[in-house]
Amino acid sequence: MATIVMERIGRLFINLQQVRTVPQMLTEAAPSMPGTLRDTEVPGFFRERYIHAGYRPLHQGWRYYCLSLFQRHNETINVWTHLLGSFLVLVKFLQLAETVDFIDDAHAWPLLILLLSSLAYMACSTVAHLLAAKSEFYHYCFFFLDYVGVAQYQYGSAVAHFYYAVEPNYHQWVSPVFMPTATFLCCLSCLGCCYGKYRNYSLRVWVRKVGQVIPSAMAYAWDTSPVFHRLLRYLWTTSHSDDIAAPASGIVGDPAISFHGSQVAFFLSSAFFFTNPFPERLFPGHCDFLGQGHQLFHVFLVICTLCQIQASHLDYLGRRPLYTQLHGEGAATVYLVQYGATLVACVCIAVFIARKVKRLLNCRDKSK
């Protein structure tokens, strides 16, 4: 018995010795990285209002920016919020794939578009915040990619809301124009965001913000209008119907309503933090790593997306007789093709503006 105990203690000691070598192995695998810089040490283009430190140095190798995923800097939380968000959406996707036939059931394709577009915008945002510090040109390019992802999410939201959440009377009003308008606003939003970024030097901050926010706000209002109509109808029904008539209306007791209400509330909260540098405005220099408004914007938007996916899934399950009657068999195929077309259109917009940026930077460098 004593011999066995001593052998186990010896093995444990060897294992502990191996564990002690792990930090050295990690150091050799990832050599020391350059430290972060203060705002006065980076070009003005990269500076964020009220953020005084935590900026990564420019013109490093791609390996540095990839490994900065594990470094403390002023973009770390922005990267991780959407990286973890994309992981949560992927887990939800895999869970739904066990019960939803995304291949043979055409009526599941709007839900598929929403899931793919949600993954796309979070992945594009993650890449943009992780790699955009390499140079001014790549800063433009990666955030143009981010705007393409946001535009795709806008289209995915429009499809899911119009297909599953719409009420028959609202569908009758907007059916001929809803998806064409949503497609146009999706591309307009991408163009407004890319062009506003491109005119970074020549326009005031508030002018650029207006150019970026107004098209996106128009897209959100239109894409979510079926949900707004349904929520208003729910509130009207619950406040004006008696106990017998209310359940018969088909609205009261709808399990998706609470998730639709939540997604609207979380999106509006995220919009506040996107348009306002709060709370860092109150504590300049104290939110360089944690506590930035853009970080809160990311968190609220992830929660909004998860509520939206859950609401759309519940509508997919519970409103099948309604949406099959409203949309028929061929509509989902059209929307899937339009999704690919809007993706191509938004990529073309981003590439076109990126080329203008390249010419602008080349002319500026030659004039020095």
Please state, as a whole number, how many other Cβ atoms lie within 10 Å of the Cβ of residue 340: 10
β-strands 53-55, 37-38: how paired? antiparallel
The reply to whether 129 sits in an annotated binding site is yes
**What is the distance between the alpha carbons of residues 172 and 50, in angstroms, rounded to a whole number?**
49
Sequence-distant (≥ 6) Cβ neighbours of residue 177 within 8 angstroms: none
**What is the distance between the alpha carbons of residues 308 and 144, in angstroms, rounded to a whole number?**
25
CA atoms within 13 Å, Cβ hemisphere of 210: 5
Handedness of CA 103, 105, 110, 115 (dihedral sign): negative
Q: Name the CA radius of gyration of the chain, rounded.
A: 25
Q: Which residues of 266-293 are buried (b: 16+ CB within 10 A; e: fewer)?
A: bbebbbebbeebbebeeeeeebbbeebb
Q: Where are the extended beta strands (E) located within the chain?
A: 37-38, 53-55
The reply to whether 313 sits in an annotated binding site is no
Distances (CA, A) of 153 to 128, 321, 328: 16, 26, 24
Nearest C-alpha neighbor of 288 from the set 15, 73, 69, 115: 73
**What is the distance between the alpha carbons of residues 347 and 149, in angstroms, rounded to a whole number?**
10
Nearest C-alpha neighbor of 165 from the set 174, 301, 105: 174
Distances (CA, A) of 252 to 209, 248, 313: 40, 8, 18
**Which 8-state DSSP code applies to residue 161?**
I
Amino acid at site 136:
E
The reply to whether 294 sits in an annotated binding site is yes
Burial of 248 (0-12, 13-18, 19+ CB in 10 A): exposed
Q: Where are the extended beta strands (E) located within 42-201?
A: 53-55
> Which residues fall in the annotated binding site for Zn(2+)?
129, 294, 298
